[in-house]
Structure 1
Amino acid sequence: MLETSSSWCGWVKLTYQFCNDRTKPVATYAQAPYKLQRPFYPQTKTICYTTILHTAGGMVGGDQLSQSIQLQPKTHAVITTAAASKVYRSNGLNVTQQAEIDIDQDACLEYLPRETILFEGAQSRQKIQVNLGTNASYLGWDILRFGRSARGEKFLRGEWRSRTEIWQNQQLIWVDSPYLPASPEIWNSPHGLAGYPLVGTLVWVGKPVSEEMIAQVRNLWQEMETTGEAGTTQLTSGLLCRYRGNSRAEVINWFINIWRLIRQWNGQVAPVTPRVWQV
């Protein structure tokens, strides 16, 4: 699909408040193509699940999409998307997505969107900034498919650039700035995609992680039957996991198992996967 002269400038604003032992959205705004589904509580009233829907079905060059998310003290939210995101082939303009996330003292956000599919020739820019208060935590993942591999398409033309910054009490504690200029060399290089169409990144920042905890995450991967590649790194106050392979099921199962493990470390209830993921 080619971009058209009509581009979207969509945005979402979400604010959560903890009141009467319940996390609830107190400010929810969305401008097309975004739409917010009704929040739900599959486990406990203290954890609010929110699903963001992109009604246009895909993104084209010139689209500018933004999210502003605030978790007030002691809130706990899980935010996901209703379907995989698609970035269509562009004739030169970028798709731009940005998210500004403020997580106040003792609050927790699990930001778990479904995968993004970049069609060959797509040009995408993404920036996420997370601002953590004292004792706040953030779990986020990003799963990308380069090319419609089910059709045999590779990502040999186009560009993808992303930047994620995590700050705590006005100090930068982690930054990630991957850049992938599509080409046959990048597609095949062991320092690029190594022929794999799918990559995933999971980051959790909340408290110091021991070597034993890192070993537990690595064991989760080793216990699976896998064809891809994965690695786990200890951060100053958390951990980082990377995946490169062919299987969405493989990476999402690993990431969900890590999510369960992090909940266990924090003494929280085991997570329930959103029903929308089964669609």
Structure 2
Amino acid sequence: MLNPQQITSSKRSKPITLHPPIPQAFQPLDAQPRARGEIVLSAKRHGGRSVIDGLRQAGAMKALFPRAGAMLQTICINTAGGVTGGDRLSLTASAGPGAALGLTTQAAERAYRSRDGEFGRVDSTLQVAAGATLHWLPQELILYDGCALRRRLSVDLAADARLLMVEPVIFGRAAMGETLTDARFHDRITLRRAGQPLYCDAVRLEGDISRQLARRPIGDGAGAMASLVYVAPDAEAHLAAVRAQLATCGGASLLAPDVLVLRLLCPDSHVLRQHLLPVLDRLSGDTLPVSWRL
């Protein structure tokens, strides 16, 4: 009778040792799964429209291209379903000379509770070459209680490049009664033009974020926020119309005749979209990605 601990295969010269399963109580606990994802994308001008020049995608980050047109529209998807502690996601995108590249997301991104307190990281690096246009239009980032997220956006513009950039953030879903009593959110946006700083913005919130936002000097009770930058020769011409759309929820001003900046602070995501969508439609020339309407 064969010993079950030592069975010799006819195709092997050495015996195969079979070990009994380790009891569940003695098995080491696996580390919390971590998401890793990366997109590297470049666009070029070809035959009167913008097309893919190079594309590499790995892990949890995927890129879809829903339609062809003058602008190369790109939907970035995080297949992990959100961001939590220890996750690392990155995007590097460039629009070559004369090209037009649009980047958005399939839906709102979510920053979930970090069980071990470790930060999740999302890094985006964008380059816009001479005569090129880039639209950075991700949908809302929703923060959940207990989240720990560090996010960085860095944009390098050529002297005559155009940019439309928006970053909306939701501090807990008001309709679900969510509040952020213990969360961490570090966010940094850096724009450079011809190598010189053009716009720098940083947000660092920790602890009872809902209570902090309730203070008038900080958020005056806001539950949603959006930052927008528009860099184009016609920026000044849009200022009056953009200000009229904001009502009492925000403000807009010019950093330069061709640089319009906007900050929105609203009670919730619904009010935020009511004010933000008409502005994005206007500044994008009514080319806002379809995913924003779904």
- TM class, shorter-length: 0.7 to 0.9
Residue aligning to 1:15: 42
Deviations 1:119-166 (A, max 9, x none): 011111111110001210111111111123222111121111111111
* 1:192 CA drift (Å): 2.5
Secondary structure of the corresponding residue to residue 41 of structure 2: strand
- Given candidates 102, 113, 137, the residue that maps to 1:89 is 113
The answer to whether residue 267 in structure 2 is matched with residue 246 in structure 1 is: yes
- Contact 1:155–1:187, Cα closer than 8 Å, also in 2: no
In 2: Cα distance, 1:24 partner to 1:85 partner: 26
Matched pairs, number:
261
Offset of residue 170 of structure 1? 1.0
Shift of residue 208, structure 1, vs aligned partner: 7.2
Distance of 1:188 and 1:221 partners within structure 2: 20
Q: How far apart are the structure 1 equivalents of 2:249 and 2:175?
A: 20
| 1:182–1:137 Cα change, 3 Å | farther
Secondary structure of the residue aligned to 1:167 is strand
Of 266, 274, 279 in structure 1, the residue corresponding to residue 289 of structure 2 is 274
CA distance in 1: counterparts of 2:280 and 2:215, whole angstroms = 31
- 1:133 corresponding residue in structure 2: 158
- Distance across 2 between alignment mates of 1:114 and 1:182: 25
Q: Secondary structure at the match of 2:282?
A: helix
1:81-160 alignment runs, 5 A limit: 81-90=105-114, 91-160=116-185
- Which structure 2 residues correspond to residues 145-184 of structure 1 after superposition, within 5 A? 145-183=170-208
Deviates more, 1:230-239 or 1:136-145: 230-239
Question: Cα gap change, 1:153/1:247 in structure 2, threshold over 3 Å: closer, same or farther?
Answer: closer
Q: What residue identity is the alignment partner of 2:159?
A: T
Q: 1:26 aligns with which of 48, 53, 59?
A: 53
SS of equivalent residue, structure 2 residue 221: coil
Secondary structure in structure 2 of the residue aligned to 1:178: strand
Deviation at 1:249, TM superposition (A): 3.6
Question: In the TM superposition, what is the alpha-carbon distance from 1:37 to its structure 2 partner?
Answer: 1.3
Residue 215 of structure 1 deviates from its aligned partner by 1.7
Tell me: CA distance 1:218–1:124, structure 2 relative to 1, closer, same or farther (3 Å): same
Task: Name the aligned partner's letter for residue 250 of structure 2.
Answer: A
**Deviation, structure 1 residue 39:** 4.0
Which protein shows a greater Rg?
2
2:165 corresponds to which letter in structure 1?
A: G
Question: Is the Cα–Cα contact under 8 Å of residues 63 and 77 in structure 2 kept in the other structure?
Answer: yes
Amino acid aligned to 1:255: L
Alignment of 1:48 with 2:72, yes or no, is yes
Aligned partners of 1:80, 1:252: CA distance in 2, in Å?
A: 16
Cα distance in structure 2, aligned partners of 1:95 and 1:257? 32
Pairwise CA RMSD of aligned residues? 1.9
Does the 8 A contact of 1:209 with 1:235 survive in 2? Answer: no
Q: Hey, what does 2:251 align to over in structure 1?
A: 231
Structure 2 counterpart of 1:262: 283
1:253 to partner: Cα distance: 3.9
Q: Identify the residue that residue 68 of structure 1 maps to in structure 2.
A: 92
Q: TM-score, normalised by structure 1?
A: 0.87
Q: Find the aligned partners of 1:154 and 1:189 in 2 and give their Cα distance.
A: 15
Give the gaps of 5 or more residues in structure 1. Answer: 223-227, 264-269
TM-score by length of 2: 0.83
Post-superposition offset of 1:274: 2.4
SS at structure 2 position matched to 1:276: helix
> Given residue 289 of structure 2, which amino acid in structure 1 is its aligned partner?
P
* Cα distance change of structure 1 residues 217 and 125 upon mapping to structure 2, 3 Å threshold: same
Structure 2: stretches of 5+ with no match in the other structure:
1-30
